[in-house]
Structure formats: C-alpha cells, structure tokens
Amino acid sequence: MDWTELTLAVKAEDTGPACDIVALVSPDGFYLEDYSDLEAGAREIAHIDLIDETLLHKDRGTSLLHIYISPDQSPDESVQSLTALLDSAGIEHRLDQGNIREEDWANNWKRYFHAQPVGKRLLILPSWETAESQEGRRILKIDPGAAFGTGTHATTRLCLETMEETVRPGISVLDLGCGSGILSIASMLLGASTVTGVDIDPLAVRTAEENGRKNGLERPAYTMLSGDLTDCVTGRFDLITANIVADVIIRLCRKAAEYLNPGGRFIASGIIESREPEVLTALAGAGLSVTTRKEREGWLCFACSRLS
C-alpha cells in the first residue's frame, strides 16, 4: 500500500516552529532530519558509536521533515494547510511530494537510530540492536514503528530527564498521548507501580503495547488505551505526562489537573519556546504551579504541582 510522503525543507533555525506546525497538521506522524548539532550530540554520548559515516556529509543548515499521508487521506489538503501555516509564520520552505511503501516507511529510518543514554538512569535501545548493561542504567527497549517516540527528539529527552527526577517507587502514572510508549515504559523502569497510557491513534496504542512486552510489561500494571485522550480514563494519578504540542497541552491541562492526586505532578513537554506565555497562563488557570523548567533546542518542558 502506497502512502504519500511530503518532504519539508526549512532552515535549521526554523526547525522548532516548523515541527510545531507539522505536528498539528500530520495525523500519522513524521520524522525529522536535523544535523545542525551532530558533533555536539556525538560528544555528549561519545561512548556510543552513534554517527553513521554518511551523516557527516549532510547539510547542517537545512532540516528535513518527512510527513506521511495515509492512502485514505488527501495530500492536497495537508499541503494547503502546511503552506498556509508556514507562510503565516514567515518560515521559508520547500515542500516536495512523493510516494512510499508502508513497509519502507516503517524501516528506512532505522539506520539512524542507535543505542543512547538519557539522563543518568536510562539507556534507550532499539529493539533490533543489542547492548551491554551500563552501571546504574535500566535498558529501555523500543521500536517506534509508525508511532512517535525514540528518545532522540529534544522534547522526549527533556521529558525523560524530568521524569527521572520526579518518579518515585510505587506511584501511579498517566501518559497522555503515549505514542510509542517510551514515557510509559520509562516510568515503570524508574519505579512506578502502574501506568496507563492513552492515545487517539490505535496504531500508536498497539505499538506501545508491543514495546511494553519487549520490556516485560503487561496488563494490568501497564495498560494502554485507545481514545480521545482523557475520555477513556478514570481514577486519579500521582504523575501525569504529556509530551504533545502547546495547543493540546493548553486544551488538556485543566482536565489533567482534575486527574491528579493531592501532591501529584504534571509534566508537560513538546512546547516551543514562543508559546511559553500562553502555556504558563493555561497552567496557572488550571491550578498548576511550575516547579521546574527545562529547555533544549528551543523546546520547553515544565514540571508542575497542584496549587491545592
């Protein structure tokens, strides 16, 4: 089955806002080619053989966003929406269109995804690779498939690092927009006793379930649900994570606060820096106080506590 692949080229400095726009338009995921900080990233994890030789010759001044449109959707509508939003934001861009087989989409990015440490306690390991356990790190096996979440994007890394400081043994976790399940799995490896993940995309939920099994996690402790985020969730939780985009976090934060236990924490990531004032206003309006702010590559992650 052929999907439509849209390849969006933008200047490296526009990568953050372009990702924010694409995340709003693309319902079936995208992946980012951004080589602007390749050497810095390699030094950060120099004990892992991360860089493929072909990457060293990539254009560091341009980022490519690969967007996938399913056969039952109109690529023209996506092109029109992307063009309008990018033009409105003043982002110079080039948009190319082609076809790709579904099985190629699921596998062609694997050559760029290798084992990598995150924070002080996790080692993200692609399911097709092997690695020796590193002292003090839990191995998190992941195969994102068509769902977002490998641990390489700044928003996911920020979220994982914040979770490392927040998760305590025995807590309950709700992962809004679970994607590949990476945050849900990480919470269990860091000591949570139960996690509930929810995503509007059934494919993401299936991927999260499969990744859970790769890490020895099953229901009822590890439960993934398909639905419109909080619509299918009941109960209260000690920690809620949402690595999505600013608009969704603004819309969901009040509801998320209602799902928190007294003393509970809410971690929100996927927020582009320019949207910070709007998100902070929404969090305060939901009775959430920001206790930790982390920033990387123009993206923000907030850890919040309930005011009452």
Q: How many CB atoms lie within 10 A of CB 59?
A: 12
Domain hosting 104: range is 2-108
Confidence band of 240 (pLDDT split at 50, 70, 90): very high
Percentage with pLDDT > 70 across the chain: 81
Would residue 205 count as lying in a domain? Answer: yes
Confidence band of 48 (pLDDT split at 50, 70, 90): very low
- Region of 8 (left: φ > 0; alpha: ψ -120 to 50; beta: rest) is beta
- What are the pLDDT digits (tens) for 213-230? 999 999 999 999 998 866
Confidence (pLDDT) at 42: 40
The whole-number average pLDDT for the span 183-209 is 93
- What are the pLDDT digits (tens) for 8-40? 999 989 988 998 888 878 755 678 887 665 444
Q: Same domain, yes or no, for 168 and 86?
A: no
Q: Same domain, yes or no, for 71 and 200?
A: no
Instruction: Share the mean pLDDT of the chain.
Output: 83
How many structural domains compose the chain?
2
Q: 186 vs 23, 28, 222, 239, CA distance in Å?
A: 23, 23, 11, 13
The whole-number average pLDDT for the span 97-117 is 67
Confidence (pLDDT) at 103: 56
SS3 for 207-274 is: HHHHHHHHCCCCCCCEEEEECCHHHHCCCCEEEEEEECCHHHHHHHHHHHHHCEEEEEEEEEEEEEHH
Chain center to CA of 237: 21
Would residue 182 count as lying in a domain? Answer: yes
Q: Same domain, yes or no, for 85 and 156?
A: no
Structure tokens at 182: 């990476």
Q: State yes or no: cis peptide before 220, omega within 30 of 0.
A: yes
Report the alpha-carbon distance of residue 179 to residue 157 in Å, rounded. Answer: 14
Q: Same domain, yes or no, for 177 and 297?
A: yes
Would residue 50 count as lying in a domain? Answer: yes
Confidence (pLDDT) at 272: 87
Last residue of a domain, one of 49, 82, 108: 108
Q: Same domain, yes or no, for 102 and 163?
A: no
11 SS3 class: strand
